Structure 1
Amino acid sequence: MKVKTGCTDAIAYQELSGRKVISQFNGGQITTDAGGLLLREIEQARGFMKEFSKCFSDYRDQEAIEHTVEELLFQRIYGIALGYEDLNDHDQLRIDPLLAVLCKKKDPTGQDRRSKNEKGKALAGKSTLNRLELTPAEAGKESRYKKIVYQGEKIERFFVDAFLRSHQEKPERIVLDLDATDDPIHGSQEVTRVFEAVLDGAHRITGSRNKDVRNQLFGDNTRSPEEKKKASSKITRIIRKLRAHRLISKIPRSTRYKVTEKGYRILGASLRMKKKSLPATMKNVA
């Protein structure tokens, strides 16, 4: 973040071998985020964020805008990488010349802005970034304010392609690290007081077989075959009930199951409840 240094007084200290030792505060515009230049080098070599910007459709009047989709994404992503996750931080970050350099602004000082009130502010404000993040997928050219629309399928493919491009050879092993920890967020913000990535699909296992579930829940090798069989039968009964209530459905021509839209809604609602108590529908099922 840009730091203003308006003090010009000098402080003198004891000399060292006949040399004066003084401190001054006339450094002008300085930054605490010079490490961002290393991220810029990585981006210029790999082009991850530039490719990511192609996953969005921009329905704005291109002659009237001052911030491209690529620049907006750069600003938001670099900000998060440098520790500024809150959009309110960008009220100050937008005047930071270093961040403007990272975002490829031709004039990092912001003196080329069209509006007199915006001069000196090279980057977008928090409201513009907020519209970028909250634009619904069904928005389009006729939308009044939110006209930068994400393409969900392209984004999904982007992360897969980015992963594959990071390896010159096919990896022998891929580890899916699913962290289901329920961590309170610092500050106890409203609505987002718990870590709920599971609701976004990151933790959904939509193709587990009965044997897979049994091994995950009852994979104790010390149990006798009879005990393991009973445990597997219990899972089978639960799966039958879930199917009967249309919370899961069988994948055609396989022994696998997937969670239905109804199941996602109910499971999602149960996870959002304060004490994680299951709704009545789920209690009757399992």
Structure 2
Amino acid sequence: MNNPLPPKVAVVGGTRGIGAAITSTFVTAGADVLLTGRSVPEHVLEALRGAGRRAGQTVEGLALDVTERDFAQRLAESARTSLGGLDVLCLNAGVFPNKPLADMTHADVREVFATNVESQILAVAACVPLLRESGRGRIVLTSSITGPLTGFPGWSHYGASKAAQLGFMRTAALELAPYGITVNAVAPGNVLTEGLQELGEAYLAQMAATVPLGRLARPQEIADVVEFLAGERASFITGQVVTVDGGQTLPESPEAVLPTGTDAPS
């Protein structure tokens, strides 16, 4: 059974990693897409347009810095002018600089919260009129297990921002429910993105060893969940978080993660 997508989608931070996979998934499904990021290379847009399956499909780019004061208004205005409206808003922008608490500064905290929390609140607020006009609005936030479910040294500001993001999501879901707009989040574990790869092979191996399924997630596996939440079959789901972590948050100790290929206990 297909999961029909509304025809117009805005994706923020979609040029790399999870955002890129979400964008590609929507385009392949035939959606019109406004792809945003600090920069949107033309070759990326051309590749996406080549993946489209519908005649006359719109795939446009909009360079945005989500920490700038007017970005949310520009996003909403561009969605109206480029796509003619908005059905699905997927917000993926996020930064995770490593900084121990002893070295934390006001600027460090401000950078993370401005990108990970404030930008999402402002983008949703600016796009509410368009989503109301749609009559079937969907908002999907990319969160994380770090903060809401787990912690990691050096990422206290990141974890706090992701927990705050979900607090916003739940209240937004209540406020927007009367208009038929759903607000949900996906909480990935460790995903094999460019940003994570920059942390080095030793870190990747360490993280994979903590996942019961024995590997890190692929960006497409997160995009598949986002596609479901943005589709018609998720029309009665709102204010919820879907954890996609390969079981990473299940073990109560490292010893509970069996080596890959181990036979189940008899």
Query: Is the structural similarity TM-score above 0.5?
Result: no
Higher relative contact order (CA 8 A, sep 6+): 2
Q: For the superposition of Structure 1 and Structure 2, which TM-score range results when normalised by the shorter chain? A: under 0.3
TM, length-normalised to structure 1? 0.23
